[in-house]
Amino acid sequence: MIKSESGHLKIARPLASGGFSTNDGLRPYRLAAHPRTGGALTSTRPVRVSDTVSIGGGAITVIAGPCSVESAEMILSIAHSVKSMGAVMLRGGAFKPRTSPYSFNGLGPSALEFLENARSVSALPIVTEAMDTRQVEMVARTADMVQVGARNMQNFSLLEEVGRCGRPVLLKRGLSATITDLLLAAEHVMAAGNSDVVLCERGIRTFETSTRATLDVSAIPVLKEETHLPVIVDPSHAGGRSRLVLPLALASIAAGADGIMVEVHPDPEAALSDGDQSLTIEEFGELMRALEPVAAAVGRTM
Ligand code: PEP
Ligand code: MN
């Protein structure tokens, strides 16, 4: 018999106190929740992205690259630079969700070719966004990891499609999504057959206007309590200004994040998207140097 939704929610909702029941059977996300072995919580299950990169183990994963892929030369030179400074994955948007329809919205399929070339030369695995179910197959052919952006976190058709794409998924938290919403979105991907999901806190919309979004640092330990899925943080979209990226990244690693994803551009003022929040190559080097002692302090390596 199919249970009515209200009946289901009565047993599945987090407690009114805002916390979660400790009984697994009452959790609305059964695949994303920690399995319980003898009453003890198990820890994060690393997600394997390539032969060289797994997210969620002892090492902090640093993903870096431009907001948008702007040319073949640009993505290749950024790949070389960030790799030499310790990044282990390359990011770069081919299809860009933009608030205004008149903003640059990515180079599309040719950017995927440029990313593929940058990967074969630099050996850095790639993460890039699929905005639409129709793009998933094409993106998954190039990407080592497929990104679902904040604005699409509850696009359930897209979640199902990436659940069948055969690649790990980087799922970004929606601008007004609760932690439970994020976990349920991950559950959609997992229920479609893909358990390789990495969660990304990227700031939520609050009443605060001095930053682009408000980084929800508390989401990191809450997610760690709730799920075995690795958790990374994008301090670039959270802060919206390059000066904020370093302190937000340090706070994220100190709070237990498994990695960070940051936007880097050789000339942020000339960037076609998100220049304000993009680090220069030199600033990225400073960030990497600053991260090391913080990672060591919480028992992680870089
Ligand atoms: C991005 O990472 O390229 C992006 C568009 O971020 P978000 O979906 O978090 O806004
Ligand atoms: Mn961006």
Which pLDDT value is given to residue 24? Answer: 52
Distance 100 CA to ligand 2 centre (A): 13
**Cβ atoms 220, 256 nearer than 8 A:** yes
For residue 90, report the distance from its CA to the centre of ligand 2, in Å. Answer: 14
Sequential pLDDT tens for the chain (302 residues): 455 555 444 444 444 444 544 445 567 999 999 987 655 556 999 999 999 999 999 999 999 999 999 999 999 999 999 999 999 999 999 999 999 999 999 999 999 999 999 999 999 999 999 999 999 999 999 999 999 999 999 999 999 999 999 999 999 999 999 999 999 999 999 999 999 999 999 999 999 999 999 999 999 999 999 999 999 999 999 999 999 999 999 999 999 999 999 999 999 999 999 999 999 999 999 999 999 999 999 999 99
Q: Which ligand is nearest to the CA of 232?
A: 1
Local structure of 126: helix, strand or coil: strand
**Closest residue to atom 9 of ligand 1, CA basis:** 150
> Which ligand gives the minimal distance to the CA of 173?
1
Q: Are 159 and 192 in contact (CB under 8 A)?
A: yes
Strand extents, DSSP E, the chain: 36-37, 40-41, 47-48, 54-55, 61-65, 89-91, 126-129, 145-148, 169-172, 197-201, 231-233, 259-263
Q: What is the largest CA-CA distance in the chain?
A: 61
Instruction: Output the CA 39–ligand 2 centroid distance in Å.
Output: 41
Task: Name the burial class of residue 223, with classes exposed (0-12), middle (13-18) and buried (19+) by CB atoms within 10 angstroms of its CB.
Answer: buried
Ligand 1 centroid to Cα of residue 281, in Å, is: 20
Q: Which of 135, 117, 18 is nearest to 74 (CA)?
A: 117
pLDDT at position 220, please? 98
Specify the ligand 1 atom closest to the Cα of 97: 5
Ligand 1 binding pocket mutation candidate from 95, 128, 129, 162 (most atoms within 8 A of CB): 129
pLDDT at site 27: 76
* Pocket perturbation via mutation, ligand 1, pick of 89, 202, 216, 278 by most ligand atoms within 8 A of CB: 202
Residue 236 Cα to chain centre, angstroms: 12
Helix axes 156-163, 179-191, angle to 10 degrees: 50
Structure tokens, 21:
């029941």
The residues that bridge with 199 in the sheet, in sequence order, are 171, 231
Side chain identity, residue 31: L
Q: Give the pLDDT score at 81.
A: 98
Task: Provide the pLDDT for residue 12.
Answer: 46
The C-alpha atoms of residue 66 and residue 50 are separated, in whole angstroms, by 21
pLDDT, tens digit, for every residue of 7-19? 444 444 444 444 5
Q: Which of 150, 157, 158, 163 is nearest to 189 (CA)?
A: 163
Q: What pLDDT, on a 0 to 100 scale, did the predictor assign at position 293? A: 98
For 60-123, the DSSP string reads: PEEEEE-SB---HHHHHHHHHHHHHTT--EEE-BSS---SSTTS----THHHHHHHHHHHHHH-
Q: What is the Cα–Cα distance from 105 to 272, expressed in whole angstroms?
A: 9
The pLDDT value recorded for residue 35 is 85
| Ligand 1 lining (C-beta closer than 6 Å) | 67, 93, 97, 129, 149-151, 172, 202, 234, 237
Ligand (nearest to CA of 97): 1
Strand partners, 36: 41
